Amino acid sequence: MTLMSAMLTCSVRAAILNQRGELVTELDERKLYQLVGRRIRNIRLQRIPKLTQATLASLLRVERTSITNIEKGTQRPPLALLYRVSVELGVSLADVLPSTEEVQVSRLSGDLQSKMPIPPKTASVISRLSINRPRSLQRSR
């Protein structure tokens, strides 16, 4: 398995890079979509009258099961759909999206030491993958 395929199959976290390409923050994507779904559900249920999943789905022209899955965090809604959700719920997009701090896994310093250590087995796999990486995938400095 190459480093690229490992990154594609294990894409649970997303890295945020600064302008120089240095890792600044790592986000837990699964938590991001769970929080988005939870916020959509809470806003939908706080409306008076309450909005059912079926009604919201109809307004958005999607299946009710899509709303169910989005609210559970198992379906990743596209940005355009999130805009439509916020319009139909009468809230700003900021009310639907969690803050970076809520989905942050770790913040790395210049020496790349994170608050959350990488388990030894995972570190050894990453090390082996990066050593065996073809030259075409290696960064030039």
Pairing status of strand 104-107 against strand 13-17: unpaired
Whole-angstrom distance, CA of residue 2 vs CA of residue 18: 25
Q: Average pLDDT of 94-123?
A: 68
- Residue-level pLDDT at 129: 67
Res. 113 pLDDT band, cuts 50 70 90 = very low
Res. 105 pLDDT band, cuts 50 70 90 = confident
Domains of the chain (ranges, CATH numbers): 30-100 (1.10.260.40)
User: Tokens standing for 39?
Assistant: 């916020």
- Residue-level pLDDT at 128: 64
- Mean pLDDT score of the chain: 76
